[in-house]
Amino acid sequence: MAQHDPLVRNAPEPERRIIVGVDTDRPSREALALAARLAAKIDAGLSGIFVEDENILSLSALPFVREVSMSGTIGEIDNAALVRAMQAQAQIAKRILERVAGEARIGWTFRVARGSRLKSLVADAAQSDTLILRGHDISRHELGRTVRAATRDVRADVLLAARGVAVSSAFSVEPSHPARVSKTLKSPERLLLAIDEGSSRGEACVGFSQSLASRIAMPFRRLFARGFSIGDLGTAARKAHAGLIVVDAGALHEDDDAARLSAAAGCPVLLLGTERATLHSGVR
């Protein structure tokens, strides 16, 4: 990731961060609202990254590329104007992040990067961080590679919502009313489902999940899943009305298993990149 803009922060960087891509569209705002509420509940900071897509910029610089307006007029693309538009959009995204973080009373940082959106998020992550990833406009293959890089190389956690699954579906997030941070995060009928595949890491996942469920005020259930297929897990999660599934990343074998599980269950999946038993203040 090539850093394109200095890091902007409003407080010393916390040990634990929720990292989320920020933009001005509605899905991005929903993910940001969730990230802020989750950060407030687990004593984490919020790290927002706006990514200028290098593919769009490279394509617009080619001499044969033309722009077609809504009226059908064809003209050359002004690359400098495109960059200025992205910079203006980044400033809007920063103000949104600052407002949401301020209302949640959490520390925040903001960075502008130029490159691939998913690679930029992973490049910014450390083992103590949690990345929020949305699969609505990403191929399952690309999403799987990103999950692998984050959980197995960086050893960070990943909160993933597959294509067609709202990243906020586990929680009663209302982006139009971000001040309601004191409300419970959950929808009353949905629960946190911890996957125990029978290993010591599965046991640690259950312990961490119980602590997390208490922090975010969700009902908790343990699911013994030795030998279960992804389809079986998804079916079981739907029957249990799961709003969030927590699983050790090492329990999934294929790169796209996490996205498949999220799609099958109809809810986000939190993949733990490292083994831990509980979630206490300042401890992971």
Q: pLDDT for 17-26, tens place per residue? A: 999 999 988 8
Mean pLDDT, range 158-176, rounded to an integer: 72
Q: Check residue 86 and give its pLDDT.
A: 85
End-to-end CA distance of the chain: 27
* DSSP letters spanning 27-96: HHHHHHHHHHHHHHHTT-EEEEEEEEEHHHHHHHTSTT-EEE-TTS-EEE--HHHHHHHHHHHHHHHHHH
Tokens of 274: 């490292």
Q: Is 243 helix (H, G, I), strand (E, B) or coil?
A: strand
Nearest CA-CA partner of 162 in 213, 251, 230, 93: 230
Q: How confident is the model at residue 1 (pLDDT cuts 50, 70, 90)?
A: very low
Please report which confidence band the pLDDT of residue 178 belongs to, taking 50, 70 and 90 as the band edges: very low
Burial label, 192 (beta-carbon count in 10 A; 0-12, 13-18, 19+) = buried
**Nearest alpha-carbon partner for 244 in 276, 197, 212:** 212
Q: What is the pLDDT of residue 59?
A: 55
pTM for the whole structure: 0.82
Average pLDDT over residues 140-156: 92
Average pLDDT, the chain: 82
Which residues, listed in sequence order, are joined to residue 133 by a DSSP beta bridge? 160
Give domain 2-56+83-272's CATH architecture: 3-Layer(aba) Sandwich (3.40)
Among 260, 199, 253, smallest CA distance to 235 is for 260
pLDDT surpassing 80 at residue 207: yes
Between CA 111 and CA 248 the distance in angstroms is: 29
For residue 181, pLDDT over 70 is answered with no
- Residue 48 to residue 129: CA distance in whole angstroms: 12
* Predicted confidence (pLDDT) per residue in 68-104, tens digit: 444 545 555 567 777 788 889 999 999 999 999 999 9
User: Is 63 or 40 the better-scoring residue by pLDDT?
Assistant: 40
Reply yes or no on whether the pLDDT at 173 is more than 80: no
CA–CA distances in Å: residue 157 to residues 98, 114, 121, 279: 24, 23, 12, 13
Q: Are 273 and 246 in contact (CB under 8 A)?
A: no
Q: Is the alpha carbon torsion for 86, 88, 89, 94 positive or negative?
A: positive
Mean pLDDT, residues 18-41: 91
157 pLDDT exceeds 80? yes
Write down the domain spans for the chain: 2-56+83-272
pLDDT surpassing 90 at residue 105? yes
Report the 10 Å Cβ neighbour count for 24: 14
| Residues 210-221 pLDDT 10s | 999 999 889 999
- Coil vs helix vs strand at 186: strand
pLDDT digits (tens, 9 = 90+) for 54-68: 666 555 554 544 454
pLDDT tens figures, 250-273? 999 898 999 999 999 999 999 999
